[in-house]
Chain A
Amino acid sequence: GNSVTQMEGPVTLSEEAFLTINCTYTATGYPSLFWYVQYPGEGLQLLLKATKADDKGSNKGFEATYRKETTSFHLEKGSVQVSDSAVYFCALSDSGGYQKVTFGTGTKLQVIP
């Protein structure tokens, strides 16, 4: 079946540091890939997405590129802020069948001033 593996947290960074959260996936066909963010006490919200190989998703300074050759979708941000502190989830959606969404275990990011 499909699976998503992301780096374990927590990740602690100083404000304005560079962020990378690694994500790799296993899937048949051509899934869509997503990053979701969960702020404390809230549900998940979509951060960015990519639907085909070499697509780059971007939002709020975050970026991720769909790399089919390495089955990866790493999340990056050039300069993090305290307000970016949250849990980040990598996910994929089946390309066929019922299009169920599979999530990674989440990576907690803490940004300190």
Chain B
Amino acid sequence: DVKVTQSSRYLVKRTGEKVFLECVQDMDHENMFWYRQDPGLGLRLIYFSYDVKMKEKGDIPEGYSVSREKKERFSLILESASTNQTSMYLCASSFRQGEAFFGQGTRLTVV
């Protein structure tokens, strides 16, 4: 069974903290994605990666960075968390032009 695993289901962090969200896939997919999901806004792409050490900005990259040192792992970093980054974060992976497989999501609250 294909699997995308996000390290936490729920996180509470303080304003100004550096936050790491981890995602691991076991399908040898080239592409990996980070989205945030907010009510009424659907899924918005933050960053994606099409190969190891390669990354591209999505639609809302401000305040975020990413790291992909190994093919199976894609990390999202909030350099200095702010309350407007409170959201559901979804990681996904895919083969080229294939369907995306999603993790369970991480609900992040910044207080």
Q: Which residue of A lies closest to B105 (CB)?
A: A43
Shortest distance from the beta carbon of A46 to any chain B beta carbon, whole Å: 5
Q: Which residues of B contact A46 (CB under 8 A)?
A: 99-101
Of chain A, the residue at the smallest CB distance from B54 is A98
Question: How far apart are the CA atoms of A53 and B102 in the complex, in Å?
Answer: 26
Contacts from A to B (Cβ < 8 Å): 32, 34, 36, 42-46, 49, 51, 89, 91, 93-95, 98-106
What 7 A-B pairs come out closest when comparing CB atoms? A105-B42, A43-B102, A103-B43, A44-B102, A43-B104, A46-B99, A98-B50
Are A105 and B41 in contact (CB-based, < 8 A)?
yes
Interface residues on B, range: 20 to 34
* Neighbouring B residues of A95 by C-beta, 8 Å: 97
Q: Which residues of A lie under 8 Å from residue B90 when comparing CB positions? A: 43-44
Distance in Å: Cβ of B98 to nearest Cβ of chain A: 7
Task: Give 6 CB contacts A-B under 8 Å.
Answer: A43-B105, A46-B101, A98-B48, A99-B31, A99-B97, A100-B58
Q: Are B42 and A32 in contact (CB under 8 A)?
A: no
Q: A45-B102, A46-B99, A99-B98 are in contact. List 20 more A-B contacts (CB 8 A).
A: A34-B100, A42-B105, A43-B102, A46-B100, A46-B101, A93-B98, A93-B99, A94-B97, A99-B94, A99-B97, A100-B31, A100-B56, A100-B58, A101-B45, A101-B92, A103-B35, A104-B42, A105-B40, A105-B41, A106-B43
Contact string, B70-91, partner A, CB cutoff 8 A, digits 1/0?
0000000000000000000010
Least CB distance from A18 to B in Å reads: 25
Bound CA–CA A103/B43 (angstroms):
6
B56 and A98 contacting across the interface, CB-CB below 8 Å: yes
Q: Given A43-B104, A43-B105, A93-B98, are A99 and B50 neighbors across the interface (CB < 8 Å)?
A: yes
